[in-house]
Amino acid sequence: MKKIITLLILSSLISCNKNNDKADGYGNFEATEVTISAEANGKIEYLKLEEGDILEPKTQVGLIDTTQLYFNKQQLMASKSTVFSKSENVLSQIKVLQEQLKTAQIEKKRIQNMFAENAATKRQVDEIDGKVSVILEQIKSVQTQNSPIINEVKSIDVQIEKINDQIQKSKIINPIKGTVLVKYAEPNEVTAFGKPIYKIADISEMTLRVYVGETQLSQIRIGQNVTVKIDAEKEMKSCPGTISWIASSAEFTPKIVQTKEERVNLVYAVKVKVKNDGSLKIGMPAEMWIK
């Protein structure tokens, strides 16, 4: 009788374990990986990073040679100085003409007053009017000569700004906080625009993409807390997670899900955010437990 009772208890326990040992979702951890590529051509002067390094955003980690860009900028600045000297010569002519105009306008006012008192002739008034008009036309003519010079200076300024932008892009600036996953280049190597230098990802918080069946959708919602389990040495390790996204359309179960029952079913993708204590890695398999 005792043997029969014992067998019933064991059978009951095994049955319970079978019902409770099945996770609600299976998947792999992922993170947003960003590949940092060169934005300039030339030799890498230095690159201060190694795989596994944690980098802060907006930190300069390397530099691509800017020697030729520097020389081009100096050449443009010298050309700008030469053009400025031409402009200064034209402006000095305008100043001379403006002084002549002031004198002529004073003389014009004096003659007009004299003409009003019958102390000057109409011819004198016409002559001074003509003189003022001539000076005004000369000023316009000289200003016209200065316009192309000003446009040339503006063109040089644009070229200098382009070189400044190229020099800035020669600096390898890390855009986000994260861990260096792969290093593709080394100092003294010659790189080119668009060539990868390193790959980085923020793995302080990982995303577990799991797949659940249609019958499980009613049990989950965005913002819901769940338990995530990963393989460990003796037993599975548990981590708290939060559902951040649920797919709106179904798809066939991907090959990464190895449970026999679900391989041919239609499932919905679910993303679970999990704080990384250092034990979670990209591509690592894991389970999601709703209860």
Q: Tens digit of pLDDT for each residue in 213-224?
A: 888 888 999 999
Closest CA to 175 of 83, 279, 89, 59: 59
Predicted confidence band of residue 151 (pLDDT cuts 50, 70, 90) = confident
| 34-65+171-200 has CATH 2.40.50.100 classification | yes
Instruction: Tell me which residue has tokens 């004299």.
Output: 114
Whether the CB-CB separation of 274 and 203 falls below 8 Å is answered with no
pLDDT tens-digit map of 96-139: 788 888 988 888 898 888 888 888 888 888 888 888 888 888 88
pLDDT of residue 192: 96
Global pTM reads: 0.70
CA pair distance 131, 98, nearest whole angstrom: 13
CA 230 to chain centre: 35
Report the pLDDT averaged over residues 21-45: 93
> What strands lie across the sheet with 33-37, from one edge to the other?
33-37, 196-201, 178-183, 54-55
Instruction: For residue 64, report the phi and psi dihedrals to the nearest 5 degrees.
Output: -100, 140
Higher-scoring residue by pLDDT: 258, 3: 258
- Comparing 59-63, 151-155, 221-225, the range with the smallest average pLDDT is 151-155
User: Does position 21 have pLDDT exceeding 70, yes or no?
Assistant: no
pLDDT of residue 259: 55
pLDDT of residue 118: 84
Determine the length of the chain: 291
- Comparing 96-100, 151-155, 173-177, 283-287, the range with the smallest average pLDDT is 96-100
Report the pLDDT averaged over residues 88-98: 78
CA pair distance 33, 201, nearest whole angstrom: 5
Task: Tell me the chain's radius of gyration from C-alpha atoms.
Answer: 40
Helical ranges in the chain per DSSP H: 2-20, 67-116, 122-169
User: Does position 194 have pLDDT exceeding 80, yes or no?
Assistant: yes
pLDDT of residue 230: 95
Whether the CB-CB separation of 242 and 272 falls below 8 Å is answered with yes
pLDDT of residue 131: 87
Predicted confidence band of residue 14 (pLDDT cuts 50, 70, 90) = very low
Q: Best-predicted range by mean pLDDT among 7-21, 70-84, 123-137? A: 70-84
CA pair distance 66, 84, nearest whole angstrom: 27
User: Does position 264 have pLDDT exceeding 60, yes or no?
Assistant: no
Return the biggest CA–CA distance within the chain: 150
pLDDT of residue 17: 39
- Comparing 108-122, 145-159, 261-275, the range with the smallest average pLDDT is 261-275
pLDDT of residue 18: 41
Q: What angle do CA 176, 178, 183 make, to 5 degrees?
A: 100
Q: Is 228 helix (H, G, I), strand (E, B) or coil?
A: strand
pLDDT of residue 10: 31
How does the average pLDDT of the chain come out, rounded? 86
User: Does position 5 have pLDDT exceeding 60, yes or no?
Assistant: no
Q: Is 26 helix (H, G, I), strand (E, B) or coil?
A: strand
CA pair distance 66, 72, nearest whole angstrom: 10
pLDDT of residue 92: 77
Q: Look at domain 25-31+203-289 and name its CATH class.
A: mainly beta
CA pair distance 179, 33, nearest whole angstrom: 10
